[in-house]
A and B are shown apart, each in its own frame.
Chain A
């Protein structure tokens, strides 16, 4: 066993640690085998040194051995490491897109823990990337697959909450306080069913008219937040939503008026 100064020992330990981490998971190379050979190589190189070997001598040997990150051929390396390499060596303008997609995947995988907290940074990173591409006048191309998912997920959640959140809350409030006490509800089953559907329809339809008005009023900021997925949305689409809301509310009101 060669005697080394603490600094030299630390250098060597760091190098061997890097090597083990690099060789872990290699397809047809045994990490222990390689480590044993490398240790033997270092010992032979340094066996003629007098006294404790210093960091300079060790660094010289390690430099000739080269960085372990460059030892393995690509096909030898585990798939996840190849993926990480692709990210770290990707052109600068792809990294933000990879980060956004990574955060999106993490938000799905860790959904029950911190998923909801990760999807917002994923969405912000994606949106920033879309803006960057627009400022440079570059088409997103294949990068769209990396940045659209988080924007689409947040958009789907926001649309869902906007369309059904407040009406469901209102209906729950009414049901908790009892239909009977607030309204003249028929006693027979068919009448009760008509009344319940009618009440739900009025609440949903009315809310959709309000929501459509709100979205039409704030169309520009909404389109900006969810660009490019809402680029093709115009005020006329919210007019359609308001129209559907009016029809649903009117139909439902008819059920309530003629509930008996």
Chain B
């Protein structure tokens, strides 16, 4: 029963964090979908099934946080690149601030418990 509730908590946490992780992945430079998936898959426990990332990219694009463009590839057909829009960059800044303050607050709670 305890495992079930931990799994559920992990699933919820992962769902909430994936968007933040996707936006941070393309914050530095535009990346194409497959590359985003590879980088996120390298983060332990974040991406359980790679396909989950693509609906998130589509939703972010739909909500105007991300833009796409096609670029020719030497290996095959043109690839779709994702980059942050101006609004996406502003939102990501706010999301990261919020995440930092949450992380800090939870760290504080854990320290209190250790004392």
A44 vs B52: C-alpha distance when bound (angstroms): 17
- A-side contacts of B77, CB under 8 Å: 40, 43
A40 touches B58 (CB 8 A): no
Q: Identify the interface centre among B49, B51, B59: most chain A CB within 10 Å of its CB.
A: B51
Q: Is the CB of A43 within 8 A of B33?
A: no
Structural contact, A34 and B54, CB atoms closer than 8 A: yes
Given A66-B48, A66-B50, A70-B52, CB of A47 within 8 Å of CB of B76: yes
Are B34 and A44 within 8 A (Cβ)?
A: yes
Q: Which residues of A contact B37 (CB under 8 A)?
A: 41
Cα A45 to Cα B34 in complex, Å, equals 9
Proximity string of chain A (31-48) to chain B, C-beta cutoff 8 Å, 1 when within and 0 when not: 001101110110111010
Interface flags for B47-66 (1: CB within 8 Å of A; 0: not) read: 01111101101110111000
Residue B15, interface by CB 8 Å: yes
Q: Is the CB of B51 within 8 A of A29?
A: no
Contact with B along A16-30 (1 / 0, CB 8 A): 000100010010111
Closest to B57 in A: A37
| CB contact under 8 A between A29 and B49, given known A36-B80, A40-B33 | no
A67 to B51, CA, bound (A): 8
Hey, which chain A residues are within 8 Å of B49, CB to CB? 64-67, 70-71
Interface status of B75 (Cβ within 8 A of chain A): yes
Q: Is A57 an interface residue (CB 8 A)?
A: no
Q: Which residues of B contact A38 (CB under 8 A)?
A: 51, 54
Nearest CB of chain A from residue B93's CB, rounded to whole Å: 22
Contact A37 B50 (CB under 8 A): no
Chain B residues with CB under 8 Å of A72's CB are 55
Which of chain B's residues 8-59 have a Cβ closer than 8 Å to chain A? 15, 32-34, 37, 48-52, 54-55, 57-59
- Contact between B52 and A37, CB atoms less than 8 A apart: no
The binding surface of chain A is classed by DSSP as helix
The chain A residues found within 8 Å of chain B, CB to CB, are 19, 23, 26, 28-30, 33-34, 36-38, 40-41, 43-45, 47, 64-68, 70-73, 76
Known: A28-B63, A40-B79, A43-B77. A33 touches B58 (CB 8 A): yes
Q: Report how many residues on chain B are interfacial, defined by Cβ distance under 8 Å.
A: 23
Instruction: Check B59 against A37 for contact (C-beta < 8 Å).
Output: no
Kindly identify which residue among B32, B50, B57, B79 contacts A65, using a CB–CB cutoff of 8 Å.
B50
Contacts of B63 in A (CB 8 A): 28
Evaluate contact between B61 and A43: CB separation under 8 angstroms: no
Contacts of B32 in A (CB 8 A): 40
Are B62 and A28 closer than 8 Å at their CB atoms?
A: yes
Complex CA distance for A157 and B15, rounded to whole angstroms:
51
Q: Closest Cβ of chain A: how far from B85's Cβ, in Å?
A: 16
Find the B residue at minimum CB distance from A19.
B51
Which 5 interchain pairs have the tightest Cβ spacing?
A: A66-B49, A65-B51, A33-B58, A37-B33, A37-B54
Q: List 30 A-B contacts (CB under 8 A).
A: A26-B55, A29-B62, A30-B62, A33-B61, A34-B54, A34-B55, A34-B58, A37-B33, A37-B54, A40-B33, A40-B34, A40-B79, A40-B80, A41-B34, A41-B50, A43-B77, A44-B34, A44-B75, A44-B76, A45-B34, A64-B49, A64-B50, A65-B50, A66-B51, A66-B52, A67-B49, A71-B54, A72-B55, A73-B15, A76-B55
